[in-house]
Structure 1
Amino acid sequence: MDEVEYLRIISGQRQDWRARLLYQPGLRFLSLLYRGGVGVRNWMFDRRLRSVRTVEVPVVSLGNLTTGGTGKTPFVAWLTQWFQNHQKQVALLSRGYRALPGEVNDEKLLLDRLCPGVPHYQNPDRCASAEKAIRDGAQVLILDDGFQHRKLDRTVDLVLIDAVCPWGHGGLLPRGLMREPKSSLKRADFVILTRVDQCSATELAQLQQELIKLVPADRMATATFQPHALINVADETLSLESVKGKRVWGFCAIGNPAGFRRTLEQSGFEVAGLQVFADHHHYSSDDVQEIGVQAKEADVDLILTTCKDLVKLSELMFCGVPVWGVEIGVELREGSAFLEQILQGLVD
């Protein structure tokens, strides 16, 4: 079973007898075992029965409860820029998830582009990375995808929740996409609801009411990811206004492909189709050919993807159709003042 098919099963899109009678019950059983393991691990960390490394500079952890899809990468870039604007030397720490042997992963490639000159240490041992970054002169460490990485102590724990799919299809791994139960949010210092423009006001209000039971209302903010331009592998740019209304073919290998499709539609594009690959997929020449053929057959003007996918490509065109990445930025809405107050306490 590939990742795309797995997501169809846990989201309920696939309802054949195998999904209902074999896969879903089996995944529920495995989720019970996973819940037990997560509970024991957190219990040990809560009581300091497992060692935690503390370093001498502020550590800002940015993470989530689910596996991918909440917008961590653009938020890491936003945080980096914030600290740089306050004259702090920043270093990024990440695991290097799904990097090919001897290479870096797509998140580092994108962050290197979004945060030029900012050191980015990729190592499953984030404690070792932290010590090296500090020796190299870092004054603030941003721990990417760090909510579950409790071996490194953090000054501030920020958690992102996708307002469109907040609870990972309603279950812990592998029945759903949640890494921890909702109750784990009690150890977060601040929660940011992302993609709030892609859900209804009623759905957002219900989610906020649910979260208030776990996180104080003044420790929540809302945010959107706003597209502002198109860019290609030659670093050429196009304004969104200049291509608004164009018929496009999309593809992506991210944690929330549905969110990318909504972004394209909300930007005024006519989306002829969207090809979805497994998160962090490394594109082959066959993939490029397949995407190009599908786009050509759909008679589109442009092929669009995420910037996270674009950094893994080298072609300006697939089968003669121009390929562009959609650049997005973070726009904080409600609750941003208190978040900035928390960050300001780290630089004073």
Structure 2
Amino acid sequence: MARIDPEVFLRLIRGETRGPLAALGRMGLGLGAAGYGVAVAARNAAFDRGLKAVHHARVPVVSVGNLTLGGTGKTPMVEWLARWYRERGLRVCLISRGYGRADAVNDEALVLEENLPDVPHLQDPDRSRLAEIAVDELEAELILLDDGFQHRRLARDLDLVLLDALDPFGLGRIFPRGLLREPASSLRRAGAVIVSRADLVPAERRAWIRDEARRHAPSVPILEARHAPRDLVDGEGSVGTLDGLPGRAVAAFCGIGNPVGFRRTIESLGCRLVDLRVFPDHHPYSADDVDGLVRWAGATGAELVLTTQKDLVKLRLSNLGDAPLRALRIGLELLGDARPLEGLLAGLIPESRPVPGA
């Protein structure tokens, strides 16, 4: 079955592609979205009414998820949470489904393994079974469930939902007519909402997002965060600073769910972005891809090529031809008062544990 170009799909559902065929295509996607929406509503109702079984882990579970398809910054959020709990002495285990994997761990897992070497990460579609393994074999005291908002079979003590400030509500439509995995009304299940990449939009946009979120979840804390560039990493894992980037001619490529966010982050560093090449999310780079990237990098005349850590962990290269290749490593940074979130997190720490700084 032919793979649909993500950019072509996005232009279609945004209404940027015009003409009778495009209108007919959107109509067909709308019919598909209606059926998908009914299925999602029925599934959620079954869990809400106790008609579907829920597995309860023997330790607290914190889920990080979102409403939309594409990247909202879940991996930096998971990393932030793991560090927060590790600093308080808890044995943490990450579990996830493992999207984009073949017979090995996927790119997010490779990034987390590199950034959190002391935190184990288990991947399998059966996350209830993983929760048992985490407790029995790894002696985990707390489980972080990555991309877990729609996975309701494993009960969680706290649901954190990320909304990407660049497109928080998936064009306001259910997939495939839009990018919503489920309606925005599902935010009522959230324990807290975090608006990611909040620094990349104006204040009035941020206020609108908060108002919309409160309309669906009036009693939950709403926080804002940014993806803060931390450093540059090469294919060997060596770390360099961000010094010298302003004004430098940079080419970039990525295979992530939100390339617009990556572009905005690069531009915020003052680089002169000469070209951005976009691959599908979770793209498995082949030898032909690398050859093409070498030719492309040379043609751009860039002094430096930047990519994401998710992409570089699959390539493990430090150069593309004559151009140095570096990953821009990102860390999540909460904006404003973090105490509402930290209070929720601290409430899951066993009473025998100290809670410094909470």
Distance 1:300 1:252, change over 3 A: same
Please show how residues 326-345 of structure 1 align to structure 2 within 5 Å: 326-345=328-347
Paired with 1:332 and 1:346, the residues of 2 have a C-alpha distance of: 20
Tell me the equivalent position of 1:121: 122
Change (3 A) 1:16 1:272: farther
Q: Give SS of 2:64's match.
A: strand
Task: Indicate the residue corresponding to 2:18 in structure 1.
Answer: 15
Find 1:148's aligned residue among 150, 154, 165.
150
Report runs of 4+ in structure 1 exceeding 4 Å deviation.
Answer: none
Q: What residue identity is the alignment partner of 1:111?
A: L
Give the letter for the 1:297 counterpart: A
Quote the Cα distance in structure 1 between the aligned partners of 2:294 and 2:16: 27
Give the structure 1 partner of residue 161 of structure 2: 159
Matches within 5 A, 1:220-259: 220-259=222-261
Cα distance, 1:16–1:113 mapped onto 2, change above 3 Å: farther
1:82-135, CA deviations, whole angstroms, 9 ceiling, x for partnerless residues?
A: 1101110000010011112x2111011011011103111100000000001100
Of 292-301 and 33-42, more deviation after overlay is shown by 292-301
CA shift in 2, pair 1:103/1:218, >3 Å = closer
Q: Which of residues 3, 11, 27 in structure 1 aligns to 2:6? A: 3
Percentage of pairs with the same residue:
44
Moved more, 308-317 or 191-200: 308-317
Runs of 5+ unmatched residues, structure 1: none
Take 1:12 and 1:227, find their aligned partners in 2: how far apart are those partners?
33
- Distance in 1 (CA, whole Å) between partners of 2:26 and 2:53 is 36
Given that 2:191 and 2:220 are in contact with CA atoms closer than 8 Å, whether structure 1 keeps it comes out as no
Q: How does 1:196-215 map to 2 (within 5 A)?
A: 196-215=198-217
Q: Distance in 1 between matches of 2:18 and 2:276?
A: 22
- Which range moved further: 73-82 or 294-303? 294-303
Please give the secondary structure, in 2, of the residue aligned with 1:96: coil
Q: 1:41-190, aligned counterparts within 5 Å? A: 41-100=43-102, 102-136=103-137, 137-190=139-192
Give the secondary structure class of the aligned counterpart of 2:244.
helix
Alignment partners' CA distance in 1, 2:15 and 2:336? 32
Per-residue CA deviation, residues 168-194 of structure 1 (Å, 9 max, x unaligned), is 122111111110001000011100000
Counterpart residue number, 2:297: 295
Measure how far apart 1:234 and its partner are.
Answer: 1.3
In the other structure, the counterpart of 2:356 is none
Q: Is the 8 A contact 2:245 2:269 kept in 1?
A: no
Question: Cα RMSD (Å) of the superposition?
Answer: 1.3
Unaligned stretches of 5+ residues in structure 2: 352-358
Provide the C-alpha distance between the structure 1 equivalents of 2:11 and 2:231, rounded to a whole number of angstroms: 31
